[in-house]
Every structure is written in structure tokens, then in C-alpha cells.
Structure 1
Amino acid sequence: MKIVFLALAFFIGLSVYADKIKEINYDGLFHISKDVAMRMVDLDIGDELDEQKVDDAIKKYFKQGYFQDIYVTSEDGNVTFHFQEKPIISKIELKGYKDDDKDFMNDVVMIKRGALYDEKKIEAAKNRIIESLNHDGKIDSVVEVEKELQENGSMHIKFVINEGEKIIIEKIKYSGLKRFEGSDFDDMVANKEHQFMGWFWGRNSGDLRIQDLQYDPLRIRDYYMQYGYLDAKVDAPFVRVNFDHYTGEMSYQIVEGDVYRISGVTIEQTKQVIDDAKLLEVVKLTKNEPFNIKTFREDADRIKTIVADLGYAYANVVPDLRKDKENHTVEVAFKVIPGEKVRIRNVIISGNTRTLDRIIRRELYLGPGDMYSLTDLKDSRNSLGRLGYFESNTIEEKRIDERTMDLIVKVKETPTGNIQVGGGYGSYGGILLSVSVSDRNIFGSGINVGVKLEKSQMTHNYSFSISNPRLNDSDFSGNFSVYQSATDYTDYSTESNGVSVGVGHRFTRHVSGYLGYNYSQNRYSNVDLNSTSVYGSYYFESYAKSSVVTSLSFDNTDDYYLPREGLTASQTFEKSGLGGDANFFKSGTTFNKYNGLKDYVGFDAIFRYKARFNYVMDTGYLPIAEKYYMGGIGSVRGYQSYSLAPTITDTNGQVRRIGANQTFSNSAELSLPLVPKAKMRLVAFADWGFIGDNSLSEISRGGYGMGLEWFSPVGPIQLMFANPLNEKPGDDVSHFEFTMGQRF
């Protein structure tokens, strides 16, 4: 607090010559009104000017935080409070570290443009920046604050940051190891020894992570407890730092103890709500086996889920370990405290600026008046994620009392209407461009409408489609589409015009069925005479296809575009010959499995496995265009789309592709966060496929590479860079492809 000496002298004079107040004025007051200021001072017109009351008023004004100087003058009973307000911060910058990083500015600096300049807040921000650098392992960092008063009276603040040096861990020593080796803990701890080429992906950089020093011993002890070492002790690491070279050594002192085996597992319910035997059925801990803390926690979660599914939303499972140190056994007891049954009072939807409330509500398995169920709650979150309408969704449980709660559904919309562009290049098909205009949630109604245009040197495809996944908000779905396509092959061209219509039904939360009808007219043109002599004119007759399609699918994933858990599987059958000329039977099987690896590796990594098997049987007339081809995204990357198939050689020695009766391909992918703020991910993949007429072993090819997955403002984009495996002479390879709008 600053009060000028002139004011002090004035106060001394007041005590001798006390004037009556004729008028109270305020000079330089902007952030609070005159009326508010007057209420804060215990002075009024007609009162004698009191030094203590003026002093108290000045103190109150300073507490508001708006002023850097206040003084009072009085002349002939006219009292004036003079205020010098703190300047407003018009600009704030970071230089040298996290330049213009908005998240860092909000989360660490915590000073925004337009705020009042405050020395204490500036100093606190400076300390938080240094603390953040320390957490990143940067030692001896320096932060300087440059302040510049602008002509308009505002303040320009610049934090000039000189990053310190990182401490590199050269050696980690473990004392007391008998059962394990130090390398066994590498997957657990954050602080690891530096490895050669530590900057390379998958190698240990050795950077000291100061914030994790307190947690690494707990992680090591947890690892021991997964193998039954309940008495294991891990002391905090001792770190020796060489500040001349910014290197360090760490040492742990470990006492392993003995392995404890399970003597028994019991359930103790404070209120009997379910048969103990039902709960014991989900327990994976086994008598006489070594205790495992990970399985122990999972068992507790499984028990809680079963009880919570009975309506006991506030159920609590308190596990207890009763150790027998003499015999090195442990009895595991799960104490179940159910609480009261809870009903849902209300479901409140928020954040949906476009999607209608009813579109969200029909995906929820809990509604007003329903009994609480933890499984229903999780399935509701996943169901919303599978829609693909939202960037994120959460369902908060708002406790009203012991027996009721509200569910607050919060969603964040993502663009569903976009222009999707895809393309690629290969020696067989040349440049391929694909453009489609679609909206998976037109007008927020949940209806999917799309127009697709695809053109390359060899093909063109045009289509219009409309589908409703929930007709009248029921479990039935419907779709309609029309299309025209044409493909120029080496020795002939094909053209197809068709229409399809179908209806689906959701049998359970994860299982759906579909029944549809397809009709198309197909004709050949530009047929090479050599082709007819090799294939026979039989293959090049125009034909009509009339077929029925039926399918059954399973999907319990948690997101439409980027699943982190669950699987999808489908089985499709198509039978043609119900009218028309073509007569064949097709079968298509797909299987995709998704596993989030965050619990294992500490960051948002995702493993995917995808497999596809297709088979066709000639039951009267199988046109060559209905046979299978392999290559490209969706089968084997590294080869041009549709370029892998059985071939024959014509009379001129030209190799011709004739398609196959069966094909199988599978892929393994590892998706890693690259630039999380930009929603950009890096994916590494390996594909392998088989194709043939009589046997899948006739043709076998693979591919590998890396790609970029990006949730761009106009939709999800995949950029794939691939190399072929098992390449043979005559193969059409493709090293780059990209798509937009597809599920990762």
C-alpha cells in the first residue's frame, strides 16, 4: 500500500483544524462506480473530517485490487479521493518456450489479456513457468519479465524464457534384486536409463522426469505385487547429478520379501442384495495361486459393476487383504457396501447445437424413472460415440439424494456434413480422384445423405444414397441408393447402372441385421477380339443382376471414427438369380478388433487388427465383373487398387486379369498420437493378403508402411505411404494413397 507523505502531513493538520465536509469527490475512478465508492467510506457531508475514517476508506479501496496509488486532498471542506488505477494488460507474450501456446498460457501463466497489471500475479506466473520447466526435467531455467508501458496507458508483458538443461540419466542401479532384473521395470517407470540413439522412436531418451520420481517406486512395488510379493519395499530413488555435464545416476533400494499365495476368497455384504456365489463367479483370483494386485483390482471392479447394475449406483467395494506372514498366504475379502437403490430423476442434454435431443435420447439406455445400471451407463456413452456425430461425450451423475440422481449428457458436436476427397496413383489405374458431398446427420436428424463422384483414368463411379438408421426412432433402419459406374480394363470396358433398397433391424444393443434387394444392368464394350478368343464371348455378354442381400453385424466399439475398445464383425450373404441373368452366391466376412494401450504404455496408443474374407460360388452364371480383386486401402496397401488377381495369357502373350473366387486379407496397425492438439496421429501398418480361384495360396502379397491420420476441419483424412512385400514381375505397385471421411 502506498500513501504519499503529503497525505500524511495533511492528516496531521486535520487533527488540529477539523473542517466540516462540504463535498466528497472522486478523481480517476473507473472500475467501481461513485455510488459504490461512497458506500465504502464512513464519511458524509456535514461530518467533521476524521483522519481514521479516511485511512480506513483508503485501505478498503486498496483491497479491491484495482489501484496502485490513492491519496486524499481537502480544500475548504471539499474532500477529493485521487485514484491511480493499475494499467490493463493489452498484450502478453511467451518467448523462448511454448511460444504462443494457448493451452500453456491458460493452464500455467493464467494471466489473460485485459486483466489488470499486478506484480504479485506476474511473479506467481513466473514461478509457475519455472515449475513447469522443472517438471519437464529442465534444470537452471531462467524466466525474465519485460514490461513496456504503452502510450494509451496499457501494459505489454513479455515472459522471456531461457530453458535450462535436461538431466540425462546415465545409470540406474537396483540393490536387493533377486526375482527380477532392472530391465523388467522399464515398462513401468517413467525415469529410464539413456539408450544409444535415445532420440529415436521406441528408444529411451533418459530424460529425468522430476514429477515422476515420487511415483516410480510405487510403480515398481505394484509390479512386485502382480507376482505375489506383498511385503516388497521400494525406497525413494537417490539421484546424483553432475551439473558440469547435466547427467545423473539413480539408485533404488529394494526389499523383495516372499511370495504370498491365496488361501481363500470371500464376499462380505453389509446388506445382502445378491447371492455371494454370483459375485464369486466373476472373481479371477484363484486359491493356491500367487496373489496378483492387478487381477485383485479388476475383480473389485467386476463385483461393483454387478451390484451397480442392480440399481445400487453408490455401491462401494472395499477390498481387504488378510496376510498370514508365517505361512506367506493371504485371504482376500471383498466387503460390499451397496447403499440404497437409485432411480434416474431426469436426463438433461447439453452441448448439442445441431443434433436434435431425440436423436441423442434414443441412444441412451437410461431414462427418467429407470433404475440405475452401470453397464447401461457405459453402453450409452459408447452408443453416442458410435454415431460419429460428436467429437466427445460425457454422462455425469448428479446426486440428488440417496435414492435419486440426474444424468447430465454433455456432447461436443463434430462436423458431419463435409466434402470428402480421396485419391491415389498407381501404374495400373493412374490418378484416382474421389469427391463426395455427404452429411451423416443432415439437419441434426440422424439421416445420412450422400452424393459421390469418383473418376480416374480407368474408372468412374457416380452414386446417390440416403439412409435412416432409426426409422421413426424405432429399431428399424432403411436405405435407398442409385449408382452408375464404368471401368476401362486393358482388354474391355464395363458399365453398370443399379439401384438398391433395404431395411435393417437392431436386435440387441450390439447386434443388427439387414435385408436388401439390388438390381443392376451391366454391359461390356471395347472388347478386344483376343479377349473373346481367350475368355470366350460368354464373359462379355450384357447381363442383368437381381439379388437379395442379407447380413448380420456386431459392433460394441466406443467411437465411430477412432475406436479405442471393442470389436466389429459382420457376415454378409448375397444370392443373385432371382430374375435377371447372373446367378451366383457370395459370402463376405469382416472382423476388426481395437485395443487402447494407454494403461500399458502411458499414452494414447491404439492397436488394431482387421481381417476380411470373401468367397463367390458360380451357381449358373458368374460374370467376370462379379469376381474379386485385391490391392489398395482396405486390403493390401503397397499395390494398386484391384490390381491383384489370377491372370491368363492371351494369344498375343498379353497377361489379363480375370478375377478370383476367394480372397482373404488382414492388417495390423499401431496408431500413435503425433500432434494431439491438431488431432493428428501417426500409424504404422503391415498388411498381408491371399487371393485365388481354387485356393487362397495361388497369390500372396503383403505391404507395410506408415501413414498420417488427421481429424481435419473438413473430416477425417488418411495419408498412407506404403511399400510392397513379396512383389513379383508385372505387379502394379502404389506407394501413396489417401482417403477422407473413412473410419480409421
Structure 2
Amino acid sequence: MKKSVWSLLLLSSLILQAKNIKEIKFEGLIHLSSTIAEEIVGLHPGSELDIKKIDIAIKKFYEQGYFKDIWVTEEDGILTFHFVEKPMISKIDVTGYLESKKEELPQILGIKKGDIYDEEKIEEAKLKIIQKAREEGYYDTVVEVETKTLPNGSIEVDFLVNKGENIIIRKLEICGLRAFDKDEIEDIVANRERDFFGWMLGFDDGKLKMDQIEYDSARIKDLYMREGYLDAKVSNPFLRVDFNTYNAKLLYHVKEGEPYTVEDIKIFLTQPVIEPKKLLEEMKLKKGKIFNIERLRRDMQKIKEHIADLGYAYVRVIPDFKKNSKNHTTIVEYTVIPGKKVYIHDVIISGNQRTLDRVIRREIYLAPGDLYSLTDLKDSKNALKRTGFFQDVTIEERRVSENEIDLLVKVKEMPTGNIMVGGGYGSYEGVILNASISDRNIFGSGINTSLSVDYSSKSLRFNFGIYNPRIFDSDYSLSLNFYNTTYQSYDYTQKRKGASVGLGKQLSRYLRGSVTYKYEENELSDVTFDSIYFPEGKYIKSAIVPAFYWDNTDDFYVPRHGIASSVSVEYAGIGGDDKYLKSYAKFAYYYGLEDIIDYDLVLRYKARVGYISDLGYLPVNEKFYIGGIRSVRGYSSGSISPVDTEGRLIGGKQTFSNSIEASIPLINSARMRLTFFYDYGMIGEESFNEISRSGAGAAIEWLSPMGPIQLIFSTPLNDKPGDRTSSLEFSMGTKF
């Protein structure tokens, strides 16, 4: 600034002569264009030289944040602004703490490569590192900065960080605690007393989490409120730290009071938009029961959803308690203020680089002019996630007027196409080559296509399929599938080729129906034994398959809520040789516990049941076989089956299998999860339980850039001699 001051003193003498500006020049500009600089200056050739305007211009240039120094000269009416720009940051490194989190550094530091070097921002970045360390329980963190100027004028910045020490909570005391055990309190707070084996996984390490300590009092109060203690008071935490040893004592004072019973529940609406009686019927908080704040919150949300579904987007629900301290009862009152009905002004879609707008729009249940509905809004988000096209979907509401809003639909696309080329070696088939290409959303059209070829010395398999879930964006779907297989087994050679065509319709928001026709030619040759299960010759299958599908889950690959089920009946006997009736049903239930326990634990239950009636001719390859990824893990795929007198697998006519799974995050940034499972299945010819097997294990589920991948580690629990077991399995492209 000193140069600028001297320049201004020089110009002040010139102003007295009332000079006019002939030309304005800028020297040293890099980040600003001359056009923008002229707008900032506010002077033009021909105008009078004005010291005040030049002073204002210099200040405005400094406000841009690009310049280290600025001065002005004038010669023969030519006014020149000279700039020295701040250097750019060419590289940022962190040594020590945070060294392993290089991808997160721009968010943590607030600066990144390519930014202008600014000492104030560097100081702010140091404070952010210290704050980050404190949030993770580290204190006395020291941050030093080393800079290196490169020949091109840019600067390398290195933050040298000593993260300091963890403060360990050695003692947690809660004075006045009677209604709960100390362990129950520690289950819900973030800051806990260190266990004796605190260094072991699964035990509390006692590390202080300073960013959470202010919320722990509220968590304790909330626990009391869930058990009806409306008068409970919890003090702010008192933390005493010995900075010589970094050990701490944490203390709370609690006044519990007595639990309250709900005497009555009342709902008052400022507008008669719905009968209060209808709302009261669905309340979880019941008259005569102990008060529970969690149930009250759910009831408030339920009331809000009911009113919002009538078009009142800005409904407010205000709870109130009328406590009777003598008999410890309370009357719960909800005041409901609906506001005005709201209509959809516009639906604005963004974030889709590949998927066509119309493909997204057809999954949204609200359109311009429609009355607002909260349920429709939630269902729209879930429907978009069920497509499997998007990694994330958000729908924001932007108020346009008192009775209109815009819906801002923001999607983040995920890879939907896979190209795979691979190979392997089997003891029987020798070298195996395979290639496949598939896309669930080809050209962003929403159409699913797949093509695969497998080749070995014993087999050749070809399959092509295409599925359009919305023909011309209607409620009708169309599927086509073609396949051709040649397989040389130990005891026979099978040639199989066929095609299918299916027509479906969306019957309701979650229910879809379809009818598929299948035509298939089979030929068995080179059969080396006589068996009723493997007759040599040609046979034709002509079958029709009606089916129904229900799906109200909230995501395609990793559902956390909802049910996905299907039931189909295949009738073979419309001409051809096959004569049978095959019924099959699948059911999957997903329940996420994050809203309850504040942890992304997802429970899953999956079941499958099948039954076949032999109406004249039932080929062995049309019967049921279980084992493997989709039924009972721990056993080779399709290896659990009744056998003939020679020990050959002949399949079953009745089968049931089910799985219980618990899925938790493994590496959130990589979208990787860890799932524990238990499988149990049965199969038989005359009854379901002729053969039963179970297995258990764990699976790594990864939504990779190439598509969903599962790596399954399993063990059989009740295998028998002769069973074909499998401890490691792999799958790609299927939902979890």
C-alpha cells in the first residue's frame, strides 16, 4: 500500500491542473480481463483525472483478493495501473496428521491446488486442522507451514502437523441417577468412560469427542423423556482434564422427577381440513400409557404427512403438554396449522448428463398444476432410486408464491453399463472364455440390454436380451430374449435354443403384471446310460408364464426400506412335448435401523418357494435345484438336489429356502458394505423337507465403477458326505 499512497500524493499535484485522461492501461493483470478492470476503475478516456475515483478503484482491486501490490502512474495523460498478483498454489501437502486423507483435504482446509496464495486463508486452514483434530479427540495440536516458491512463481504449501494427544475419559459420573443404569446412559451418549480393555475392538476407548459433548446432555434428557420423565433435568457436562496425563473426569447432575402417564390426547386444527378423529386413530402415543417423546415425534410426523397429502405443503404441528404434577399425568395437545393449499408450479430436473429428461419425469408422480402431496414426493424419490440409474436422488421444494412451489429434482448418475472380457480354467471344460456387454440404461433411454457369450471345449453359450419398462413412456413394458446353448456333459450332450417375449403393465404404483411366452427346442444326444430322467432325442417346450411383481423399496441395489416380491406360474403344454405346471414365489423385506439407532444397519429377510406339478412330461432341467448365491450359500450352485440310483442330480419338485442378513457400512467413501448371513433351504420330490441344508458367512458388497460386486465367504453348517461345498463365491451386476 505504500507505493499506492506515494502514487496518490504524486497525482494530487496533477489534479490541481485539471488534466483529462487520454488513455488507461493495465500492466501485470493475469486473473482479471482488461474489460472487467475498466468497469472496476470507473474512468474512461476523455474524463477528468479524479484522485477520489482512483482511490476507490485501487480499493476495489484489492477486494478482488488477487493482488499483492497496486500502484498508479500518469504520464502525458496516460494513466497506468500496475499490478503485482499474488502467487498461485501449485501443490498442497500435509505431513503427519491427515496425511492419509488427501482426497478430503480441500474440504477440510478450505483451499486447494490452483487457488491464490493468501496468508489469511493459510491461517484459517491451520485453525481448521486444529478444529478437525479436536473433533476427533486430539488436543495441543501444533500446525506449522512451510512454503516453497517455484521458478514459475507458484508456491508449494506443506502443513506439518503434530496431532497432539487424546484426552481419555477415565471416569464418568452421573449424580442423581435412579431410573436407569449407568450402562444404559453410556449406550446413548457419544462420550463414554474407558473400558478396562478399551484398546480392543468392541470396547469403549474413552476418547473425548468434543464436538459431541454439548449434545450428550440432550441425549440423556431424551432418554428420560422416552420413559415419561417430563420433569427430568440434566446439567451441562462438567469436564475436568489433567493435561499432564490427558486423563479426564466427566460429570453430570440429574434431577429425575417421576414418570407421567398420558391422560388424554387432543388435536386442534385451525382449519377443518380433516376430522381429528381420523388422525387420533393412528396415534402411537396412547391414552393411559406412559408418555414417550419418541412416539410423540412419530405422531407429529404422521399428522404432518396426512395434512401434507391434502396439498398443505407448509403445515405446522405444534405440541403442548398440560402437566398435572400432583398425579403425574399429562394431556397432550397438538395444534395443527395447515396454511394454504399448494400446487406444483414446475418440475426442474438437473444432474442428468446421460439419462433423458423424459425417463426421469415419467417416474415423478407430481406434474405442473398438480396438488402437492408429501407421499407422492417421497414415492417419486424412491421410484427414481429403484431404476438403478442413480447413485443419489434429492427433490427440493422451492417456494414460488403463497400457493405454488417448484420441485427441484437433482440426480447423481451412476454407471449402468458393463463390458466384461474374461476367462478361466476348469478341470472338465478346460480353458473357458467369456465376454458380455450390458446396460440397464442404454443411451439414457431407460431400456435394459444385454449380450453374453461363453466358450470352452465342452460348451458354447449365447444369450441376448432387451427389456423396455415403458414403451413410448406408457405403463406397458416389453421384453425379448434369445438364447442358444450347446453343452457336452460327462454322460450326454445337450443342445438348447429358444426365445421368449413378454408384455407387462404397471397396474398400480408398486404392482406390475406381465405375461411371457416361451418357445424352446432341446436335444439330448450321446447319452451313455438308460434313465427316465435323461431320455435321448428332441423335445419342444411351449409355455406361457403369467407373473406379478410388487416393489416399494427405496433403492435398486441397496434397499433400506420396503418389500420386493414376485409370484409366477409357468404352464408348459401349449403344444410341444413338455407338460408341467411350475409355481414360484420370491419375497424380500428390508428394514434400515439408522433412524432408530443412528447407525446404518440394514436387516434383510429373503424367501423363495417353488412347486411343480408333473402333467405328463417334466424334463430334469426344468426341476428345482438349490445351493449357491441365490439360495443356500456354502454349497456349489445347484448342487443340493435329490439323486437317482447312480447318484446323479435329478432335481426336486418342491423347494423352500430363506435367508436372514445384517448389512453394515465397511468403507463409506468406496460405497462398500459388509453383510453377515444365515441361509436355510429344503428340497424334495414328494415333500419339501426331504433334503435340508444350511450355511452361514459374510459377504463384501461393493458398488464399484464397473457395477455391483459381491465377494462371498461362506461355510456349510450341516453338510453331509458327498455334498459339493463352496467357501468362496463371486457375483457381479445383481442387487444385494
Q: TM-score, normalised by structure 1?
A: 0.90
CA apart distance, 1:13: 12
CA distance in 1, matches of 2:568, 2:62: 76
CA distance in 1, matches of 2:431, 2:316: 60
CA distance in 1, matches of 2:446, 2:82: 63
Bigger CA drift: 336-345 or 417-426?
Answer: 417-426
CA apart distance, 1:687: 1.7
CA apart distance, 1:620: 1.8
CA distance in 1, matches of 2:534, 2:326: 85
Does the 8 A contact of 1:514 with 1:550 survive in 2?
A: yes
Q: Equivalent residue of 1:382, what SS?
A: helix
Amino acid at match of 2:577: D
Please name the residue that 2:555 is paired with: 559
**Cα distance 1:678–1:432, how it changes in 2: closer, same or farther (>3 A)?**
farther
CA apart distance, 1:309: 0.9
CA distance in 2, matches of 1:367, 1:501: 33
Q: How does 1:700-739 map to 2 (within 5 A)?
A: 700-739=692-731
Does the 8 A contact of 1:42 with 1:57 survive in 2?
A: no
CA apart distance, 1:57: 6.4
Bigger CA drift: 555-564 or 178-187?
Answer: 178-187
Q: How does 1:441-456 map to 2 (within 5 A)?
A: 441-454=441-454
Structure 1 position 548 matched with structure 2 position 547? no
Does the 8 A contact of 1:703 with 1:723 survive in 2?
A: yes
Please name the residue that 2:246 is paired with: 246
Please name the residue that 1:740 is paired with: 732
Please name the residue that 1:514 is paired with: 514
Q: Equivalent residue of 1:644, what SS?
A: coil
Please name the residue that 2:480 is paired with: 480
Please name the residue that 1:619 is paired with: 615
CA distance in 2, matches of 1:426, 1:699: 28
**Cα distance 1:256–1:48, how it changes in 2: closer, same or farther (>3 A)?**
closer
Please name the residue that 2:599 is paired with: 603
Structure 1 position 312 matched with structure 2 position 312? yes
Please name the residue that 2:663 is paired with: 671
CA apart distance, 1:417: 2.2
**Residue ranges of structure 1 left out of the alignment (5+ in a row):** none
CA distance in 2, matches of 1:25, 1:497: 80
**Cα distance 1:376–1:699, how it changes in 2: closer, same or farther (>3 A)?**
same
Bigger CA drift: 420-429 or 619-628?
Answer: 420-429
Per-residue CA distance 1:681-731 (angstroms, 9 max, x = gap): 222222222222233332222222222222222211111122221122111
RMSD of equivalent CA atoms: 3.3
CA distance in 2, matches of 1:502, 1:702: 35
Does the 8 A contact of 2:40 with 2:60 survive in 1?
A: no
CA distance in 2, matches of 1:253, 1:425: 69
Q: Equivalent residue of 2:573, what SS?
A: strand
Q: How does 1:271-290 map to 2 (within 5 A)?
A: 271-290=271-290
Amino acid at match of 1:718: Q
Please name the residue that 2:689 is paired with: 697
**Cα distance 1:70–1:341, how it changes in 2: closer, same or farther (>3 A)?**
closer
Please name the residue that 1:682 is paired with: 674
CA distance in 2, matches of 1:643, 1:73: 90
Q: Equivalent residue of 2:639, what SS?
A: coil
Q: Equivalent residue of 1:250, what SS?
A: strand
CA distance in 2, matches of 1:245, 1:143: 22
Per-residue CA distance 1:439-464 (angstroms, 9 max, x = gap): 22222222222112346798654211
Structure 1 position 573 matched with structure 2 position 565? no
Amino acid at match of 2:610: N
Please name the residue that 2:630 is paired with: 634
Per-residue CA distance 1:340-386 (angstroms, 9 max, x = gap): 11111222222222222222222111111111111111111111111
Per-residue CA distance 1:4-44 (angstroms, 9 max, x = gap): 69949x95998899888698876545555678479749999
CA distance in 2, matches of 1:643, 1:488: 18
CA apart distance, 1:427: 9.1
Does the 8 A contact of 1:309 with 1:372 survive in 2?
A: yes
Q: TM-score, normalised by structure 2?
A: 0.91
Please name the residue that 2:578 is paired with: 582
Does the 8 A contact of 2:533 with 2:620 survive in 1?
A: no
Does the 8 A contact of 2:40 with 2:57 survive in 1?
A: no
CA distance in 2, matches of 1:363, 1:38: 48
CA distance in 2, matches of 1:215, 1:741: 42
CA distance in 2, matches of 1:624, 1:479: 26
Structure 1 position 361 matched with structure 2 position 366? no
Does the 8 A contact of 1:562 with 1:743 survive in 2?
A: yes
CA distance in 2, matches of 1:202, 1:426: 42
Per-residue CA distance 1:633-687 (angstroms, 9 max, x = gap): 101111111111122333xxxx322211222111122222222222222222222
CA distance in 2, matches of 1:711, 1:624: 36
Please name the residue that 1:90 is paired with: 90
Please name the residue that 1:234 is paired with: 234
Please name the residue that 1:150 is paired with: 150
CA apart distance, 1:240: 3.2
CA distance in 1, matches of 2:621, 2:50: 103
Amino acid at match of 2:147: K
Bigger CA drift: 233-242 or 339-348?
Answer: 233-242
Bigger CA drift: 100-109 or 478-487?
Answer: 100-109
CA apart distance, 1:548: 1.6
CA apart distance, 1:88: 2.1
CA distance in 1, matches of 2:117, 2:137: 30
CA distance in 1, matches of 2:420, 2:14: 85
Does the 8 A contact of 1:394 with 1:410 survive in 2?
A: yes
Amino acid at match of 1:128: K
CA distance in 2, matches of 1:283, 1:661: 47
Q: Equivalent residue of 2:214, what SS?
A: coil
Amino acid at match of 1:634: R
Does the 8 A contact of 1:587 with 1:614 survive in 2?
A: yes
CA distance in 1, matches of 2:334, 2:671: 42
**Cα distance 1:489–1:227, how it changes in 2: closer, same or farther (>3 A)?**
farther
**Cα distance 1:503–1:71, how it changes in 2: closer, same or farther (>3 A)?**
closer
Please name the residue that 2:124 is paired with: 124
CA distance in 1, matches of 2:421, 2:654: 30
**Identity, % of aligned pairs?**
48
CA distance in 1, matches of 2:403, 2:15: 71
Structure 1 position 3 matched with structure 2 position 2? yes
CA distance in 2, matches of 1:74, 1:38: 19
Structure 1 position 591 matched with structure 2 position 587? yes
Does the 8 A contact of 1:421 with 1:739 survive in 2?
A: no
**Cα distance 1:420–1:234, how it changes in 2: closer, same or farther (>3 A)?**
farther
Does the 8 A contact of 1:19 with 1:48 survive in 2?
A: no
CA apart distance, 1:101: 4.2
**Cα distance 1:4–1:323, how it changes in 2: closer, same or farther (>3 A)?**
same
Does the 8 A contact of 1:425 with 1:737 survive in 2?
A: no
Aligned length: 733
**Cα distance 1:608–1:434, how it changes in 2: closer, same or farther (>3 A)?**
farther
Amino acid at match of 2:718: N
Q: Equivalent residue of 2:401, what SS?
A: coil
Bigger CA drift: 683-692 or 59-68?
Answer: 59-68
Q: How does 1:258-273 map to 2 (within 5 A)?
A: 258-273=258-273
**Residue ranges of structure 2 left out of the alignment (5+ in a row):** none
Does the 8 A contact of 2:19 with 2:49 survive in 1?
A: yes
Does the 8 A contact of 1:511 with 1:555 survive in 2?
A: yes
CA distance in 1, matches of 2:585, 2:339: 46
Larger RCO (CA within 8 A; separation ≥ 6): 1
CA distance in 1, matches of 2:432, 2:98: 41
